[in-house]
Amino acid sequence: MIKFNPVIKVKGFAKVQSAKLGEKTMAKTAWANSFLTGIADVFLFVRQIARETFSRDFEFREFLRQCFQIGNKSLPLISITGIIIGLVLTIQSRPVLIRFGAVTLLPGMVAISLIREMGPVITALLCAGKIGSGIGAELGSMKVTEQIDAMEVSSTNPMRFLVVTRVLAATLMIPLLILYADALGILGSWVGANIKGDVSLFLFFSQAFAHIKFMDFFPAVIKSFFFGAAIGLVGCYKGYNAGRGTESVGIAANSAVVLASLLVIIIDMVAVQITDMMY
């Protein structure tokens, strides 16, 4: 007859629990090491971009080409979105303002909402989806097909030619796209106001800009440059450091969109807090 020994069972259970705790500790340590290594890689990547930006042999022609690619080819999407934002905001806000007898404040309210928050954030999120994914996929495919390695062999600096030009082009063009979207949003608001009313274009724009102050415009422009830099930097980093397999191109594009959109929201949150302290 076999006797049951509870001491052996307790010791075996303790060993199993100790092994599980050891595996969890190792997993947390590996995650922390990977996270810190990723942060260090980003800082080194940014430092290299800053160093190559102020080098003598700046790729000005490639920079202009990237400005055209980022700015001109995004105009149809930004145009439609800007007009719809202003139109919808006006249609939704007009009945509420009529209820309180403040319909004359509609142009100013829409203009301030577009310039301070809705225009920059929505346009930046659209650019994160279109421009960020495009840069990530383009550089990722070049990494997979070893075109970047071929540029290094042929004495061409890929960081200066591929990354710096795209980051600077995104930093410059996205604020211009945001201003363009704001203007079209106010125009779309005028169209929405004339659906159930009758107001001239000159009067509507006069009422809209009469309520806009310098502190409504300046912080929005400043944070739009940070939006552009973040989108260009994330797209270039994810594409430039993509893996060797073909599936890594899709991973680079997808992660670029997600991370760029998250950074846009975080930057906007910080900018709102700083702007609120300035009032």
Which range marks the domain in which residue 11 is found?
Answer: 1-54
Whether residues 243 and 167 share a domain: the answer is yes
What tens digit of pLDDT does each residue of 224-248 get? 999 999 999 999 999 888 877 778 8
Clarify whether residues 169 and 74 are in a common domain: yes
- Three-state SS sequence of the chain: CCCCCHHHHHHHHHHHHHHHHHHHHHHHHHHHHHHHHHHHHHHHHHHHHHHHHCCCCCCHHHHHHHHHHHHHHHHHHHHHHHHHHHHHHHHHHHHHHHHCCCHHHHHHHHHHHHHHHHHHHHHHHHHHHHHHHHHHHHHHHHHHCCHHHHHHHCCCCHHHHHHHHHHHHHHHHHHHHHHHHHHHHHHHHHHHHCCCCCCCHHHHHHHHHHCCCHHHHHHHHHHHHHHHHHHHHHHHHHHHCCCCCCHHHHHHHHHHHHHHHHHHHHHHHHHHHHHHHHC
**107-142 pLDDT, tens digit each:** 889 999 999 989 999 999 999 999 998 999 898 888
- Tell me: do 162 and 264 sit in the same domain: yes
| Same domain membership, residue 36 and residue 108 | no
Crossing angle of helices 133-144 and 247-278, in 10° steps, is 140
Burial class from Cβ neighbours inside 10 Å (0-12, 13-18, 19+) for residue 104 reads exposed
Last residue of a domain, one of 54, 76, 99: 54
| Residue 44 vs residues 13, 50, 59, 141, 152: alpha-carbon distances, Å | 47, 10, 21, 22, 19
Looking at the fold, whether 139 and 243 belong to one and the same domain comes out as: yes
In the chain, which residues have pLDDT < 70? 1-24, 26-28, 31, 35, 279
Residues 46, 149 within the same domain = no
pTM: 0.84
Same domain, 141 and 271: yes
Q: Which of 54, 74, 94 is a domain's end point? A: 54
| Domain identity same for 132 and 17 | no
HSE-up of 106 (CA within 13 Å, CB side)? 30
Examine the domain organization and report whether 148 and 226 are in the same domain: yes
| Residue 129 shares a structural domain with residue 28 | no
Which of 54, 78, 95 lies at the terminal end of a domain, its last residue? Answer: 54
> Would you state the pLDDT for residue 13?
47
85 with 29, same domain? no
| R_g over Cα of the chain | 26
Q: How many domains does the chain have?
A: 2
Same domain for 25 and 125: no
